Structure 1
Amino acid sequence: MEQPYDGLAEQAMVEMIEANTNEFLLTLGRRGGGEECNEAGRQWIIGGSPLAYHNCVIRAHLSEENVDEVIEDSIRLLQSYNVPGSWHVGPWMGPDNLGSRLIAHGFTHEGSEPGMALDLGQLNESISVPDDLVIQRVRNERELEIWARTLGMGFGEGEIEANWVGAMYRKIGFDEDGLWHHYLARWHGEPVATASLFLGAGVAGIYFVFTLPQARRQGIGAAITLAALQDASMWGCSVGVLGSSSMGYSVYQRLGFQEYCRIEMYEWTPSDSR
């Protein structure tokens, strides 16, 4: 990974990616009514979502002696709520063989997300956008409904994910001075893309970036991400972070993001759902 930062700054970027992502997951999980654990060596939010990604273990500093016990504790809690769940295993977790231990307990490895970050002072704002593209902030429930409907047309688990996320955002509300802001792009008057900005842990986290298939390769994903980051910079943030899909990786690189870590995803599903 080509990076213009020294080792200390690189570690700081990794810590900011972790902190914002964890706050993002905790905030939505709490709104869903999830059960939270924050003890020495472990942290999770479980039971508040129908989605494995959001019933999650987000911190685990474990030893060879207690790793299996903690994994089993997380499974028992998932079973009690009868929901799928996940461990988000980043470079901040241990022991080194955590992934293989999760697999031994019935988790499956679902791939990895590149953890990316950007000094907003180096944000590339010179990107081309299609004519007649309008990007707006979501400010009320009607606009959020359109945002969620657009997200549900292909992001992640489709309508199930979009409906749950939309419901959580409805609970959070539309405070202009809050930590959450959502963006909807319209092209030729039709909604075609979404993004969310979460100003958690002092940095700007980008989430739920999605463009309808028929509107891709036009620069719309870059444009809506740029709009969110420009707002974040205006509000005083100096760093942007995100977890990228393979499709979005080159888009974020053009904006100036660089990869600093990998977050491995391990998922568990109740036996009656397999």
Structure 2
Amino acid sequence: MTDAELTARLRGNILDFKLLQARHGPLRMRELPGVRAFALPSPLANVFQQQVLYENPQALAESLAPLEAWYRELGVPAWRVPVLPPGDPAAEAVLRHAGHRAEDAITGMGLPLTHPLAPRLPPGITLEHPDDLDAVLELNGLAYGRDNVGAYTGWRTGPLPSTHLHAVVVREAGRALACGVSFEQGDTAGIYLVATHPDARRRGLGALVMHGLHADAHARGRSVAVLQASVMGLGLYQRLGYRDLGGWTNWVRRAG
């Protein structure tokens, strides 16, 4: 499978995952021809939550003015447009002309699930498949900050918001120490919300979570896993064999 094919699967999975958040939480969506924009109007929300996904540079160019008005109306001071494919000069020219500036980049990654390894659990460690996301969101809040889980309000208790969403939690003596979820569409498993408790890092627990997610997704018929890697998680995913699909540069528009 080519990098372009993996990138297309990652983009499609992210879009469907954002649509799920918009249907089952406070995330707002604005749809324009060839463009979907998402916003989380909250004093705690950071620019990562304010995201524009587009199909082509022309659709992006035609949407930027109404989207700026929409974000300002919601009181959102900054929003981002990840450029795809990485380094697309036409999209970058459109964004530069509209006052956006290139800031950080997020690495897209993909892994064929040909022969996923089953997790090998050390003594005293269990791997569970919870029916809610309470432990997952608690760990993500501890690992990355509470403002990074605001879009999942209402997902903590009760059944998972989709039958395509599957969670894994690693525990020791009943205490949740690491987690992740797989959002599965077609042949693709999108990996999200991977986190390890700050007190339990460098113990290989993140790898246990990933092995569990991979084995479960493969058993359900998925043939590829895709994700966006944080700086903290990049080394883990490289060691697991994930292919680097290039950096998705965030072009950010900031009010004022």
Assess same fold via TM > 0.5: yes
Distance 1:183 1:219 in 2: 15
Secondary structure of 1:217's aligned partner: coil
| Residue correspondences, number | 251
Partner of 2:79: 85
Cα–Cα, structure 1 residues 122 and 11, in superposed 2: closer, same or farther, change >3 Å? farther
Partner of 1:138: 130
Partner of 1:25: 18
Secondary structure of 2:185's aligned partner: coil
Which blocks of at least 5 consecutive residues in structure 1 are unaligned? none
Distance 2:187 2:232 in 1: 27
Q: Select 1:221's aligned residue among 189, 194, 206.
A: 206
Normalization by structure 1: what TM-score?
0.79
Distance 2:66 2:210 in 1: 38
For 2:91, give the aligned amino acid.
L
Normalization by structure 2: what TM-score?
0.84
For 2:65, give the aligned amino acid.
E
Partner of 1:61: 56
State the percentage of identical aligned residues: 22
* Contact 2:40–2:151 (CA under 8 A) maintained in structure 1: no
What pairs with 1:199-218 in structure 2 (closer than 5 Å)? 199-218=184-203
* Contact 2:142–2:198 (CA under 8 A) maintained in structure 1: no
Distance 2:177 2:4 in 1: 36
Q: Structure 1 residue 224: deviation in Å?
A: 0.5
Distance 1:233 1:255 in 2: 15
Partner of 2:224: 239
* Contact 2:111–2:242 (CA under 8 A) maintained in structure 1: yes
Partner of 1:72: 65
What pairs with 1:121-270 in structure 2 (closer than 5 Å)? 121-123=114-116, 125=117, 130-140=122-132, 144-155=133-144, 158-162=145-149, 164-167=150-153, 169-170=155-156, 173-174=159-160, 178-270=163-255
For 1:153, give the aligned amino acid.
L
Secondary structure of 1:251's aligned partner: helix
Secondary structure of 2:11's aligned partner: helix
Distance 2:86 2:56 in 1: 8
Distance 2:249 2:197 in 1: 26
Secondary structure of 1:91's aligned partner: coil
Which blocks of at least 5 consecutive residues in structure 2 are unaligned? none
